[in-house]
Homo-oligomer: A and B are copies of this chain.
Amino acid sequence: MADPRAEILRQAAQLFAQKGYVESSLNELAAAMNYSKGAIYNYFSSKQEIYDAIIIFTLTGLYETAAKAVSEADPPVERLRQFMMAHARFLADNYDCFVTMLVGFSGMANSGLKDDALALRDAHEGLLRRILQAGVADGSFREVSAAMTGRAVLSLLSWMVRWFKPGGGKSAEEVAQEYHDLLVRGLLA
């Protein structure tokens, strides 16, 4: 195995997404990977530590993917599209991690990494807010609140974890494109 640590996270996310965090055990994880439990302990000292690492991996990847996708040279409406497409694509590519995060983000309450997780979430949301503020500043967007509008954008994308299934029907990027069009143009004829 090229990167056992990454493989443990991948398989653990799959298990947590299927069974829930509370009902999953390291014994099951080891069995699914054809590992000994001791081999897992070489990399992680507890189920909580694996869970925390999944959250940090996911939030780091989400932010970095979006930051890379957004080109400062483009107008804000296009930057917003790049942000939404990148978020949706990363969600589809790391679906089990997002399900794990949705169900158990509150499980970070006792984690030493909670502040890191919140900082990553704020970085992602900050990137989005700056796009919205730029659109208001250059007059292409109405005078909306970046906080409220950013929350709306992230709500649309985050709720995909509850209904979207990778590989069935529309792609995550098609969904993001439709949401972008709706938010930008609005409902009124």
Contacts and interface: CB of A to CB of B under 8 A. Distances in A.
Nearest to A174: B148
A142 B151 CA distance: 24
A94 to B, nearest CB: 19
Contacts of A187: 77, 80, 132, 135, 141-142, 144, 149, 183-184, 186
A contact patch SS? helix
Contact of A155 (B23, B135, B140, B155): B155
Number of copies: 2
Interface residues of A, number: 37
Given A155-B156, A159-B158, A186 B189 contact: no
Listed from nearest, the 8 A-B pairs whose CB atoms lie closest are A186-B186, A155-B159, A22-B22, A185-B186, A141-B187, A184-B187, A155-B156, A142-B189
Interface of A: 20, 22-23, 77, 80, 103, 105, 132, 135, 139-142, 144-145, 148-149, 151-152, 154-156, 158-160, 162-163, 178-179, 182-189
